[in-house]
Amino acid sequence: MWCPKYRRRLLGGRVAARLNGLLDEIAVDNDWEIVAREVMPDHVHVFVRVRPTDSPAEVARRFKGRTSRVLRAELAWLGTRRALWSKSYFAASIGYVSETTVRRYIEHQWDAA
């Protein structure tokens, strides 16, 4: 999970649609599997299955770096910002929780909003 800089509500409409496409491209390029995802107006949840050799920091860096670069290049009004994403992110393994529980949580983010 990660957020736009200053938790601004930027991720709607065309931005969300393009971001979803970019997430798929990045996952395919790195041989990862996106199990569930949700793009909210002010944050992104991605439940991704990666290889054991991929560090969480590297996974977040690849998702955030490429999406920021491409979105800011394609959407002029985003390009005026110094940074699209905040420096932080949240990553966790699903050791004690089932995969279906995590998937259900991500898919029902709009219910809580």
pLDDT digits (tens, 9 = 90+) for 49-93: 999 999 999 999 999 999 999 999 999 888 787 889 999 999 988
Q: Is the pLDDT of residue 101 over 90?
A: no
pLDDT cut 70: percent of the chain above it? 98
- Whole-number average pLDDT of the chain: 91
How do the domains of the chain map onto residue ranges?
5-112
Please state, in angstroms and rounded to a whole number, the distance separating the CA atoms of residues 44 and 37: 8
CA distances from 19 to 10, 51, 64, 71, 101 (A): 11, 23, 10, 8, 24
The whole-number pLDDT of residue 28 equals 97
Q: Is the pLDDT of residue 112 over 70?
A: no
CATH class of the domain defined by 5-112: alpha beta
29 burial via Cβ count (<10 Å: 0-12, 13-18, 19+): exposed
pTM of the model: 0.86
Q: Is the pLDDT of residue 6 over 90?
A: no
The whole-number pLDDT of residue 113 equals 56
The whole-number pLDDT of residue 100 equals 87
